[in-house]
């Protein structure tokens, strides 16, 4: 029996620990593990390699993905999917594990419908925006990178009595910004899910500055497209010198945290066990709910949009109103 693993879409810390655990666990189960390079493009191009312990030795601490990644337009065309299927057949591969987001899962679900290649999707995106799972691989590492950056920026803001605006990633989801604002104790948090009352915040911040506040910290989610606007607001409405920092892709790299390494192990073992069980159907995603791993269908993942926990929004309400 042969199972292959690939990484697709945006990279994140935790992918390499998952790849290592996949190979080690498969070999322990007497299953032949294969590595597919360059994501969905790699299945089409046939960049597929049988894996052994040496191929994944020493990668546990590395960020990104040794398999590399891609976003494939060709995979939407049947002719290329057929070519991909034929490449898998050459190696006797009829099962896949894919680390990525809902777009990658949808692509492989179409592949499964066409050719019956069973797969398990592992949610891996720092955006943490996949419905039905409380956690996606890479999120904890990204949050720790944002925390470190925010702490460092706070040092210089306090030294110069400035305001700092920090833009986080997350596409249209404000999870990274929200959690980072809560754990960093910022004064302002701007996310797509909640409309900020800037007038109320201005009254509050001007009062605090009169009472001796020396600096202001703001976290803005990229999905709001309001970073420049918040800088202008701070300088003209609040009257404080302001600097902006766009963290960008630094949030996607770095050494995986302990939690991301642990979750990579859990996700992969559940995925492989499910694929080895011939009584289960393909086209599933392993999700993390209520402190345990479960399986849901692609259709269920796509049936709704991820929503931030109301409790978290309540915690941050004073940063938005």
DSSP 242-292: EEEEE-GGGGG-SPPPHHHHHHHHHHHHHHHHHHH-TTS-SSEEEEEETTE
Residue 49 has pLDDT above 90, yes or no: yes
Tokens (6 digits) for 1: 């029996």
Active site residue 197: no
pLDDT band at 282 (very low <50, low <70, confident <90, very high): confident
Q: Fold match between 2-138+256-301 and 140-253?
A: yes
pLDDT digits (tens, 9 = 90+) for 80-131: 999 999 999 999 999 999 999 999 999 999 999 999 999 999 999 999 999 9
**How many beta carbons lie within 10 A of that of residue 152, not counting itself?**
11
Chain centroid to Cα 104, Å, comes to: 13
Second-level CATH architecture of 140-253: 3-Layer(aba) Sandwich (3.40)
- Give the lowest-confidence range in 1-5, 246-250, 281-285: 281-285
Domain borders along the chain are 2-138+256-301, 140-253
Among residues 127, 129, 140, 260, which one is catalytic? Answer: 127
Annotation: CATH topology of 2-138+256-301 = Rossmann fold (3.40.50)
Burial of 28: CB neighbours in 10 Å, binned 0-12, 13-18, 19+: exposed
pLDDT digits (tens, 9 = 90+) for 155-210: 999 999 999 999 999 999 999 999 999 999 999 999 999 999 999 999 999 999 99
The whole-number average pLDDT for the span 38-51 is 98
Indicate the angle between helix axes 15-28 and 258-276, nearest 10 degrees: 40
Specify the pLDDT at position 280. 86
The whole-number average pLDDT for the span 46-73 is 97
């Amino acid at each position: 029996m042969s199972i292959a693993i690939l990484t697709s879409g945006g990279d994140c810390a935790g992918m390499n620990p998952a790849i290592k655990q996949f190979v080690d666990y498969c070999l322990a189960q007497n299953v032949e593990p294969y590595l597919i390079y360059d994501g969905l493009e790699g299945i089409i191009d046939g960049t597929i390699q049988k894996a052994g312990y040496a191929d994944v030795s020493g990668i546990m601490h590395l960020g990104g993905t040794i398999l590399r990644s891609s976003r494939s337009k060709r995979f939407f065309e049947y002719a290329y999917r057929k070519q991909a299927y034929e490449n898998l057949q050459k190696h006797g591969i009829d099962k896949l594990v894919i680390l990525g987001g809902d777009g990658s899962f949808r692509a492989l679900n179409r592949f499964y419908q066409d050719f019956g290649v069973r797969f398990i999707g592992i949610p891996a995106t720092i955006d943490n925006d996949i419905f039905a799972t409380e956690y996606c691989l890479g999120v904890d590492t990204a949050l720790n990178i944002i925390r470190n950056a925010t702490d460092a920026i706070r040092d210089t803001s306090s030294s110069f009595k400035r305001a700092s605006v920090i833009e986080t990633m997350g596409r249209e989801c404000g999870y990274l910004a929200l959690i980072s604002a809560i754990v960093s104790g910022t004064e302002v948090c701007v996310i797509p899910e909640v409309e900020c009352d800037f007038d109320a915040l201005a009254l509050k911040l001007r009062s605090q500055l009169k009472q001796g506040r020396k600096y202001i910290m703001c976290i803005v989610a990229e999905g709001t497209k309001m970073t420049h606007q918040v800088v202008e607001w701070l300088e003209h409405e609040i009257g404080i010198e302001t600097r902006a920092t766009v963290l960008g892709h630094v949030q996607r790299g770095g050494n995986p945290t302990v939690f991301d390494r642990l979750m990579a192990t859990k996700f992969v073992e559940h995925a492989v066990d499910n694929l080895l069980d011939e009584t289960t159907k393909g086209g599933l995603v392993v999700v993390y709910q209520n402190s345990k791993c479960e399986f849901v269908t692609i259709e269920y993942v796509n049936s709704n949009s991820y929503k931030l926990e109301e409790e978290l929004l309540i915690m941050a309400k004073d940063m938005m109103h």
